[in-house]
C-alpha cells in the first residue's frame, strides 16, 4: 500500500476472510469512454489491472465482474459484440495467469428501471444466488458513486478506485470520502491482500 491510498481509520476488516471479490469493469479493469466500449479494439486494460486480478487469483480469491452495459439497449453494440469484448478481456487476462469466474452484466437502458442496473443491487444478488459468497464479507471495487451505492445496497464492502470516473465521483460526492480510495485496481488489490494476510497470521 502506498501513501496515495486513503483508508479511513474506522475501516477495520482484519479478521474477515474473503474468498470472493467483485469488480466493476469499465474504469476499473479497462479504460472507460464517454462513447462506450463498443468493440474489442476499444477495450484496453488499465496498466496493472490484469496482473492485479491474477495476483488475487493466486492468493485464492474467486473474481467476479458486475458491470452496467446499457450500450446494448442504446443500440451501440449487441450481445454478440459484448461477448467478443469479454473474450478479449478473458484472453488477455489468461496471458498473465489470471481468470474470472463469471461476468454479470446489465444490458438495460436506465429508463427501463430494472433491478439489475447499478445502483440497484440486482447483479450482486444474482452473484449471491449462484455462488457461495457472503456479500457482507466481500469487497466490491468500483470507480463510481453508483458502484458504491450498489455495494451498500447489497451489503458488500465498497472500495473506490480513482481511475475511470473515480476522481470525478470523489469530487462530486463528499460522502465517498468515507469509502477507502486507491489510485487504481493494483493498489486496491494490495489492500485486499493485506487484509487476508493479517487474518491468516
Residue spans of the domains in the chain: they are: 20-200
Phi, psi of 187 (to 5 degrees): -70, -40
Strands (DSSP E) found in the chain: 20-23, 62-68, 102-106, 139-142, 157-161, 181-182
Residue 60 has pLDDT above 80, yes or no: yes
Question: Which H helix or E strand runs over 159?
Answer: strand 157-161
Helix or strand or coil: residue 26? strand
What is the pLDDT averaged over residues 139-162? Answer: 98
Range from 10-24, 38-52, 106-120 carrying the lowest mean pLDDT = 10-24
Give the C-alpha separation, 9 to 11, whole Å: 5
166 pLDDT above the threshold of 90:
yes
Cell 501513501 found at: 3
Q: What is the value of pTM for the model shown?
A: 0.90
Which of 9-18, 76-85, 120-129, 135-144 is least confident?
A: 9-18
Mean pLDDT estimate for the chain: 91
**Is the pLDDT score of 14 beyond 70?**
no
Residue with cell 478481456: 89
Task: Quickly state the pLDDT bin for 195 (edges 50, 70, 90).
Answer: confident
How large is the average pLDDT for residues 192-197? 85
CA distance 166 to 185: 11
The set of residues, in sequence order, having a beta carbon less than 8 Å from that of 12 and lying 6+ positions away, is: none
Q: What percent of the chain has pLDDT over 90?
A: 87
Hey, which residues does 103 pair with through a beta bridge? 65
Q: Which residue numbers are catalytic? A: 24, 26
Query: For residue 170, what is the DSSP state?
Result: H
Q: What's the CATH code, domain 20-200? A: 3.40.50.1000
β-strand partners of 178: none
Residue 190 pLDDT: 97
Residue 9 clears pLDDT 50, i.e. is over it: no
Amino acid at each position: 500500500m502506498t501513501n496515495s491510498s486513503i483508508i479511513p481509520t474506522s475501516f477495520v476488516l482484519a479478521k474477515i476472510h474473503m474468498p470472493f471479490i467483485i469488480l466493476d469493469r469499465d474504469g476499473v479493469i479497462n479504460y472507460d469512454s464517454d462513447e462506450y466500449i463498443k468493440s474489442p479494439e476499444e477495450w484496453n486494460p488499465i496498466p496493472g489491472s490484469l496482473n492485479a486480478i491474477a495476483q488475487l487469483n493466486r492468493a485464492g480469491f474467486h473474481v467476479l465482474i458486475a458491470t452496467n452495459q446499457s450500450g446494448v439497449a442504446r443500440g451501440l453494440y449487441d450481445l454478440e459484440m459484448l461477448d467478443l469484448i469479454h473474450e478479449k478481456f478473458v484472453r488477455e487476462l489468461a496471458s498473465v495467469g489470471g481468470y474470472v469466474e463469471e461476468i454479470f452484466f446489465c444490458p438495460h437502458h436506465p429508463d427501463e428501471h430494472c433491478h439489475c442496473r447499478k445502483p440497484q443491487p440486482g447483479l450482486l444478488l444474482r452473484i449471491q444466488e449462484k455462488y457461495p459468497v457472503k456479500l457482507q464479507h466481500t469487497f466490491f471495487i468500483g470507480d463510481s458513486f453508483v458502484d458504491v451505492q450498489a455495494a451498500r445496497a447489497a451489503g458488500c464492502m465498497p472500495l473506490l478506485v480513482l481511475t475511470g470516473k473515480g476522481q470525478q465521483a470523489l469530487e462530486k460526492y463528499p460522502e465517498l470520502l468515507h469509502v477507502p480510495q486507491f489510485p487504481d485496481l493494483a493498489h486496491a488489490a494490495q489492500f485486499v491482500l493485506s487484509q487476508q494476510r493479517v487474518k491468516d497470521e
